[in-house]
Structure 1
Amino acid sequence: MPTALITGASAGIGKAFAEELAARNTNLVLVARSEEELNELAKQLREKYHIQVDVIVKDLTEPGATGAVFDFTKEKGLTIDLLINNAGFGDYGDFAEADEERQIKMVQLNVLALVDLTHKFMRLMRERRSGSIINVSSLAAFQPIPYLSVYAASKAFVRSFSEALWAENRQYGIRVLVSCPGPTETNFFTEANFPPELASRTNEVSTVEEVVRETLKALERGDSTVVIGGFSTHLITKLAGIVPRKTLLNILEKQFRV
């Protein structure tokens, strides 16, 4: 029976991945900060699907956290067949006025923890010549976004990094996919302190279940990248390559300014 490790597993897309993979008879290692929610989810999945579910309560922005996650799997003798780097958060606002620590933690979680976990588990996948990695990015990866500057930049990093790894690792039998969902029914806007008037403009919102299903289908196809959403979501991914950069940035600044 395969085993998947999912970060940010206690809610949103991460929780939906856990539920879908459990239904597919996959053992799980669930990582998140929220101990109560994580333990409750693990209990439900064990009882419903009769799978092994291990829980790691960790804040991945803390020093040594990614190493502790990796060591846990080694001590338990677990082979991670699928790594899902889903943990991440955003923060709306003028960068110069934003909380400095929160911006740094965003880079630590969205970028550094993802790179470290990918490196640690990819080495073992290379040795076995098998395994899969899903890195969850965002529609924000396709263009800079004023007032979401660090978040968009971090997701652009995840997209570029993942696509490069897809090309590097095909010869080793390892699949790497970056998933770029558009607006999704999660608590992202609330946690990112998004102004309600901006959040209310969002249309074509995907469910977390749709994001998970489309992502897993793309992984099975061997794709490097999947964009999830309606027509306008896919259109946005093309604009950065068509509209002059200065024009695009002026449009986005006005669109995201309150």
Structure 2
Amino acid sequence: MVLIGEAVWASAVTLPVEAWRTVCAACAAYPYFAPFALVGFLSLATYVGLLAAQLLVCDLLLSDNLKTRYKADWALVTGGSSGIGRAIVEKLVGQGLNVVIVALQDKLLDELFAELSAKHPHLQFRKVGVSLAERDESSYMGPIIAATSDIHISLVFNNAGFICVGFFSDVPLGKWMANYHCNATCALPISHHFLNRMMEAKRPGLLAYTSSSACLFPNPFSSLYASSKAFLTMFACSIAAEVRSLGIDVVVVHPSPMATNFFKAGEGLAMLMAFKKLAAGPEVIADVLFSTAGRFVVRDQGAVTIFFRLVLKVLDSVFFAELTSWFAHTTGDYKQFTAQRAAAAKAKAQ
């Protein structure tokens, strides 16, 4: 084991040095190549180096026990009745934390609440059955505030979200707006409220966000999903800079495809379903969020997300947007939604 460790360390130290020497030699031989080589090397080195640091620190060396790290008693999870949210809830329970579960008021929420209460009588659970897709935030913030007024929430997981598919012009605006509010805007009042409570109590805390690798690229035929997740990522990165010195951490994760109800909602999108075979279980994201919290702000999870990020090291995002706009009409998804539009127009005319 010691020899293996020494070999890994030697590789980690030697490879960057050798790579840098190769770049310098190429620049000396071809001076006009130098600016491009330097930019390319730095772009890859800063990203790959960060990935290596995250792997070493988060996955190999340090504990992910949030109860101990934040001296926490209570956590809140949105979208906590299924998928990634449920995996987060179960991991919190495994660490001995009491949990407030915010989700749609349905059978899934009731069954999870009953199951957790029966299995863990030494812990406390509260459920808030609301829709986070409402334009008026008071419709969900009122119940959330009422359910948490007598406890201190140290850990907030903004996880709720869903996907709508189809041409933007064909899907009813109300459905797009609900998608927008659930994926993006509901995180603002929730974060604002609990951040202020953490600051007033002068206690450490965590604000966590479940974004998506989809935010890295244009997503025709699911336009609100990509754009709302991009908003969530930049929002998290921005407030992280404001609160770290106060002992409050922010983390946002970009999952690769997950084996959740997400794929059921996106069944009409062939491009999305192509990634289904690569999907991992939602517990993977819970593990990544817990291990990354307080150590790094942004975490790319899985081979798909890392591959996407590396593609953007080769093709600039603006250039990729141009390619997408020129060639999206040749895809099967475009042809499928065009056929659906024609069928709907024919049915309306009859």
Point out the structure with the larger helix share: 2
Q: 2:167 aligns with which of 88, 94, 97?
A: 94
Q: Does 1:114 align with 2:187?
A: yes
What is the distance in 2 between the residues matched to 1:129 and 1:89? 32
Runs (4+) of structure 1 exceeding 4 A deviation are none
Equivalent pair of 1:205/1:229 in contact (CA under 8 Å): no
1:224 to partner: Cα distance: 0.2
- Higher RCO structure (Cα 8 Å, ≥6 apart): 1
**TM-score normalised by L of structure 2:** 0.68
Alignment TM-score, normalising by the size of structure 1: 0.91
Root-mean-square deviation (CA, aligned residues, Å) is: 2.0
Mapped partners of 2:196, 2:140: distance in 1: 15
Distance 1:212 1:87, change over 3 A: same
1:224 is matched with: 297
**Cα separation, 2, equivalents of 1:19 and 1:233:** 25
Cα distance, 1:227–1:93 mapped onto 2, change above 3 Å = same
Count of aligned residue pairs for this structure pair: 255
Alignment partner, residue 112 of structure 2: 41
Q: Select the residue among 18, 26, 32 that pairs with 2:89.
A: 18
Query: Could you list the per-position Cα deviations for residues 92-139 of structure 1 after superposition, in whole angstroms to 9, with x for gaps in the alignment?
Result: 111111221110111111111111101111111122241101111101
**Structure number with bigger Rg:** 2
1:30 aligns with 2:101: yes
Partner residue in 1 for 2:123? 51
Q: Which residue of 1 aligns with 2:235?
A: 161
Change (3 A) 1:167 1:187: same
Q: Deviation of residue 145 (structure 1)?
A: 1.2
Alpha-carbon distance, 1:143 to partner? 2.0
Aligned residue type for 2:231: F
After superposition, the C-alpha distances for 1:22-64 in whole angstroms (9 at most, x for unaligned) are 1110100001113321121112112223310001110122331
Identify if the C-alpha distance between structure 1 residues 27 and 151 changes in structure 2 by more than 3 Å, giving closer, same or farther.
same
Distance verdict in 2 for CA 1:146–1:27, change over 3 Å: same
Q: How big is each residue's C-alpha offset from its partner over 1:154-202, in whole Å with a ceiling of 9 and x where there is no partner?
A: 0000000001111111110001111110100001122235335740444
Task: Identify if the C-alpha distance between structure 1 residues 43 and 154 changes in structure 2 by more than 3 Å, giving closer, same or farther.
Answer: same
Map 1:106-255 onto structure 2 (within 5 A).
Answer: 106-127=179-200, 128-195=202-269, 198-220=272-294, 222-230=295-303, 232-245=304-317, 247-249=319-321, 250-251=323-324, 253=328
SS at match of 1:207: coil
Distance in 2 between the 1:198 and 1:174 partners?
A: 35
Q: Per the alignment, do residues 176 and 113 of structure 1 end up closer, same or farther by CA in structure 2, a change over 3 Å counting?
A: same
The reply on whether 1:83 has 2:153 as its aligned counterpart is no
5+ unaligned residues in a row in structure 2: which ranges? Answer: 1-71, 337-350
Percent identical residues: 27
